[in-house]
Amino acid sequence: MPDLEHDLREYFDELSARVERRVDEVDYPTAPTRRHRGRHLVLVAAVALAVLASLVAVITAGRRDEGRGSGSPVTVEYEHLEYAQRAQLRCAALPGRGFESMDIETWADRAGKRWRTRVTYPDGSTRDVVAEGSPWYPTDHFSRGEVRGATLGCKQSSIGILVAEPGQGGVVSLNPLADDPGRVGSGNVPLVPTYRDVAESLPGTQRDSRGRLARVWREVIGGTTGSGSSRPSIRIAQTHDWYVIGDQVVEERYVNRYAGAGTGRWSLTLVGSGRRTVPGDWFDTAGYRDLGPVQVPSGGGGSVTTLVSHGMLTLVSGTLEMVGGLSTASVDPVGGLVSAVDSAGRVVRSAHAAENGHFSMALPPGRYQLVARSPNYNDGLGQCQSDGALAVGNQWVKGALVLCQRK
């Protein structure tokens, strides 16, 4: 009997693995063409159900609860994405090889506060991430498998990575699969910025790579590298587009140009979404590596650094503001030139802040002091700076503040 039970379990597990259940779908069988065939099918179905009921009784009679894996199926939100990247380089390329395309699927159990992203590479190998508590700032998260996407860029330290596999260690989705975690700090900075926070809507509509008409929201980032150092500066131009239908992002594109050195591009395209039903053990983490929690940034001291796992070249975005002075003085965003200075005192990047104070630049990982000058502050002679050093890792840094202190 134990052998029969084992064989039956494997059989039914195989059957269930072939079936992708969807909550909003119903199968309607084709009507039989002859009455006697209908009676025959009903009889066969009745016998099959009776046999199945007996087998289930045999299997379940001696079973014990096997933990989370024996729970009831779970209804989740789902996104299926296609990712592709490429680069045209006129520099010494970074070493290493990897895939330049992959499938990305994410399942979200909002009620249970669990999320899972699975990356499938062209050779069939996979990588998984499970987050608990939040997809952006998990109380704990876990990984299984290896990152096998290509990292494209230049060996030159002032350039580095142009494009790389998204979501390395994080949950990936084009649209929020959890409730908005809110805003922090005196600048009222969103913990999870969306395209509406950083981009502007272009007039008219355009078609994405699948031919869908959409509104395009665009963020343009400009600056230089090597300014003030012995090396010649390189102009940087980065364009980030979101293709939106209604309130749903259906495609995201990014172009990263370093003049004379190369251009990297990536796209993330929505190919499926909706509600699905997954097994009760879908979010189990046996055999995963524990990556620990991700801390929610605080707004202490008026300086806010928001880390968002965005799966792209590390960007730093923030605001240049004039503060202080009389107790009744307001906080005023100002335009100017913002520079990132490394621990050796070298200006690594510079970027212009618009009149609304917004600036963005690309930085390699490290610690930086952000400094700036503005024609609105002491006739451009006074120096503005960030409140302490800014730590830049492999995630997008949002909400950095550079302050011009009034006397």
Q: Say what the pLDDT of residue 127 is.
A: 95
Rounded average pLDDT over 402-407: 86
* Residues 49-104 pLDDT 10s: 333 344 333 333 333 233 344 589 999 999 999 999 999 999 999 887 899 999 99
Pick from 384, 313, 360: nearest CA to 85: 313
Fold exhibited by the domain 314-406? Immunoglobulin-like (2.60.40)
HSE at residue 3, side-chain half, CA atoms within 13 A, is 0
Calculate the CA 86 to chain-centre distance. Answer: 19
Bigger pLDDT: 183 vs 258:
258
Q: Is the pLDDT of residue 210 over 50?
A: yes
* Residues 259-316 pLDDT 10s: 999 999 999 999 999 999 999 999 999 999 998 887 665 543 222 223 333 333 467 8
Q: Is the pLDDT of residue 46 over 50?
A: no
**Contact yes or no for 215/244 (Cβ under 8 A):** yes
HSE at residue 335, side-chain half, CA atoms within 13 A, is 5
| Farthest CA pair distance, the chain | 95
Task: Please state, for a pLDDT cut of 90, what percent of the chain lies above it.
Answer: 36
Pick from 290, 377, 385: nearest CA to 332: 377
Domain ranges of the chain: 2-23+33-63, 74-292, 314-406
Residue with tokens 């010649």: 232
* Residues 8-27 pLDDT 10s: 444 444 444 433 333 333 23
**Contact yes or no for 365/346 (Cβ under 8 A):** no
Q: Say what the pLDDT of residue 165 is.
A: 86
Distance set, CA 389 to CA 297, 303, 337, 343, 400 (Å): 15, 10, 18, 9, 10
Q: Which CATH architecture has domain 74-292?
A: Clam (2.50)
Q: Return mean pLDDT, the chain.
A: 75
Q: What are phi and psi of 58, to 5 degrees?
A: -65, -45
